[in-house]
Structure 1
């Protein structure tokens, strides 16, 4: 992990295997690297039909990366795709530099940003699960242990076996501690249910502006910044809706990202459970980002993983002030099709406040419809739209 006083430079590497979401400019990986405290020395992309079993990019491209690293003075190489332990080991030997992938980079950011006891536990579990797959010949201390008094491990136990056992024990301890946190959260949810609290969770791709919208709605001071994963810990506040004459529970959750490591999805199950148990999801989208359709698909994939894909949604297209003028809609509220269903959508700007009162009114209408026993509110007729973003 980079120290606060230094900014190590890295080379970014991406391989196009023909998938639709390939980031040809490695923009997102570059943002992740900068968020983790690195500076980008150079970027390398190439096309392949399949990963090279040994070096992922093949020997020719690996040699090109090696020469580039020497000329730029890069301290590390970061891959946009996940590497197998063998590929990572082979690349490090060939390049003579540390090699890491997108998964570890995300884990590193989460480790830097976690503040709460629960968040730190979740990051530690994900890190341990990742390391448990990297043990095979990963370190130089894999000589066989000698048995005897004062030595850890039994006679003839290899260091790798000891490492595996120690990590396994650490994973079990961390899971046990997280299980206690889950039970505490479950108790809190039952208390909210007994109080007949209507719960709303903000979800969305990282840096879509969830925390900014959260602050705009509840006049809170939750940390918000123009960077990836600014918020890791769930924050819950009461939101009073004057039109409905009642308060609802509003939660700001961790942002999602493409290829979110499965270990993080599992480790953050307790936090993400807020979304699965919500009565309504505000799915925040960065409307100014040309890749927002792919980002919506990524969020929907994670929602399915945590069992929250059936929770009713309102799509909140944020950053109206940053949109291309040609794409700005004539009306703020409409609906769009999401996985075969018509979902209400509203355009807002958390920065200028435009559309926020209309969003509050939409939430109040939902609550009033529920109170009146009308079930879920229908999105209503779709207004005529001049140039919608969809």
Structure 2
């Protein structure tokens, strides 16, 4: 391995791999370090709804050929209240924008293949990664690989190693501020090789709790139901889960639902989390290392992509023109969009889920809000523009500052 590179990227999820691909296209050297095996990374089941801006960024990175061939463009999304469904026209309400259903697993595999085809510096099973001298002018990264110790100097470190990674933990406590809300429920998800019950996603608010009908392809379906965090997978055999989905999604979806054995089943807790700032010296955080959103708004992967777009442009500006304006603005620029996505995901979760403390008044407020959205094109436009994704260059900042 070289003793110096321009950028060390910690984490080979979609954020780290996409950043590496964009930097390579600009002639910037980088090394990607991932503590997990390639098989583990490629098999992780994650999100599957890509904003148009994310698709455009994958186009720019040159890794979207299979996405355009196999992805499912969606021009609308459907919402339901106790089985009564209405549609929001994403395409018509946002001037022609839409989303694409294409699994994060597929995005990751496409990016890994692109890296391998060009012989990129991508190391899986890199252990004991540690970051040094981040506040100085010449950071260094140490790690173990293949039974040997390595040390590499670099100009910058990109922390793309997720919520539990080393990158955010390397920022001093007196610098980092953390904002968090943990929700009192989770999503029980099932992945099955059966056709979807609907041509578009259905977000359902039901007296029993939230449900989502989604898909990964024309032959693979992804469904979720809201459950208490105390639930156990063994208490949810496939048949019970299918019965609950049919009830919460309503009679039309139930009549079109094809049942089948789960190929993956899990319970995921929901949380909102933001770490500020997203820069410390020559370390830059991106993706889940800096923020987590509830999956309700389909924003996690898309926020990671927008972070990467901002950071890639800033690094290109640094190396091409010697300007650090983009690097200095990165954290504030990224966080402005992060908080907007956090707001939408929090609001959408509050609208569609049953909370333990919810009384009759709170339930009536949900019903009234959904009725208003159904009746008002302007209200639907607010949902649509947030769902398809605010522009990458969105410049608004929260009132009051931070």
Do the structures match in fold with TM over 0.5?
no
Give the TM-score normalised by structure 2: 0.22
Give the TM-score normalised by structure 1: 0.22
Of Structure 1 and Structure 2, the greater strand share is in 2
Structure number, greater radius of gyration: 1
